[in-house]
Amino acid sequence: MRVAEYVRFDAMGLAELVARGEVTPAELEAAAREAAQVVNPRINAVVETWPADDGPRPGSAPLAGVPFLIKDIGVAMAGRRMELGSRLAAGHVARADSSLMRRFRRAGLVTFGRTATPEMAYSNTTEPVLYGATRNPWDLRRSAGGSSGGAGAAVAAGVVPIAHATDAAGSIRIPAACNGLFGLKPTRGRVSMGPYADEIFNGLGVHGSVSRTVRDSAALLDQIRGPEPGDPYFAQEPSRPYAEEVTRHPGSLRIGVLTHAWGGRRTAASVADALARTVRLLESLGHQVEEAEVGLGADWEDFVLASARQWTANLAASVDELAAALDRPVDSSTLEPPVLAGYHYGRRVSGTEFVTALEIRNRVARSLARYFDAYDMLLTPTLPELPVPLGTHAEGAETLDGLGWLRRLFDLSPFTAAFNVAGTPAMSVPVTADTETGLPIGMQFAAGYGLEGRLFRLAGQLEQASPWSGRTPTVWAGNHTGR
């Protein structure tokens, strides 16, 4: 299969070709590798590839034969490196598959590499010292987002149709918005973190994907959802497969809109214009859309402080564990300034401060839950501005402590983290683009706990009303005229 043909299909389309015997998994893998060779030197999204192992027989699994990439954090693949984008973990090799990796295998995915992440996934732009900056395929001067920036750039550029991603404060939705993709953060407890962790960052972190089509994300979530023994959270199983929800009519939804974020962060004019166009589209589809005043349940500065304490205490524990396991020092030779500052800040967080931070989490979760009684969904811009230029986000980071760095992260992405705290599902949909630059602009929709099906129904409707998969970035494997 030629690359130019390969990139015309989404994951479900490729799986259908395999099931019908029109193409083999080996041919798809060869096309994906060629696509990576073409675009990766320009975007630096894939940090390693390897020979794919034998998966299920063609047709025996829903996504059999589909090329796939995993993020360099959060999922362990036996015998493969998982370095967390960090010099501290450089060369670390996983001894066994994590629960999620086993589910990827059962789905039939052909995993042949890993994607870039910022160090410890601790940034919303992907520019680690270990492997260098990942560039946005729409504009190579700009960030591809983070922390799943490598996944976002690889999918947007056509290397794979869908890739693994994680999200503890927006790390699925931010790269989706930056790269013109669909990305849904599932409900807390929807996808197991086992067996090596019961939860990530006290339930803030979840697994998911970024994709070019809604049905791909729905199909993959169907394959990876569900608890494992010992999981601390449980999300009720959906009444029907998510893949079926994508084609169902969502009905007339009541949608509350937040134009400007908590904490006073103003939305750029270009993004506010895109939001207004999205509102008009929703109204044309029969939805009831109105401005909403949504209380966070805590003062913004208290929210940021609690998040900093929760994040950095978890970070410090992870760093200490890695350093001990690999016999490496915790200093500037192994960690970048923001992570090192977070480590030292987290080491000073007291038990009382940590418990107080969890109490803030509880207040935010319960406050937001009330608004999902009043509205079927909440709508915000995913990001308040266009993707930032590379090299700007970490300027002066060496002068910041752990709280200062979290404040910077939340200033860049003030709409996303609250839904991680609440544990509710949220998605970024590339409904529109900037009228001046053509850069994609993501819109975030959030729903109540366990209601991914409602989000998929609306996403499917929006995809039909305002198709985006035909838009391609400047760096696109489909432009390759090779074999």
What backbone torsions phi and psi does residue 37 show, to the nearest 5 degrees? -65, -30
Does the active-site annotation cover 147? yes
Among 123, 171, 209, 469, the active-site one is: 171
Return the closest-CA partner of residue 111 out of 154, 153, 140.
Answer: 154
* Token pair belonging to 52: 């794919």
- Hey, what amino acid is at 266? R
Secondary structure element (H or E) that encloses residue 317, with its range:
helix 300-326
Return the closest-CA partner of residue 68 out of 219, 194, 273.
Answer: 219
* Token pair belonging to 312: 């950095």
Those residues whose C-beta lies under 8 Å from the C-beta of residue 100, and which sit 6 or more positions away, are: 74, 75, 164, 191, 192, 193, 207, 224
How would you class 208 by CB atoms within 10 Å of its CB: exposed for 0-12, middle for 13-18, buried for 19 or more?
buried
Helix (H, G, I), strand (E, B) or coil at 469: coil
Is the four-CA dihedral 314, 316, 321, 323 of positive or negative sign?
A: positive
Residues in a beta bridge with 67 = 110
Those residues whose C-beta lies under 8 Å from the C-beta of residue 446, and which sit 6 or more positions away, are: 377, 378, 380, 419, 424, 425, 426, 427
Among 71, 86, 98, 143, the active-site one is: 71
Does the active-site annotation cover 171? yes
Residues in a beta bridge with 378 = 256, 446
Among 98, 123, 143, 147, the active-site one is: 147
The residues annotated with a catalytic role in the active site are: 71, 147, 171
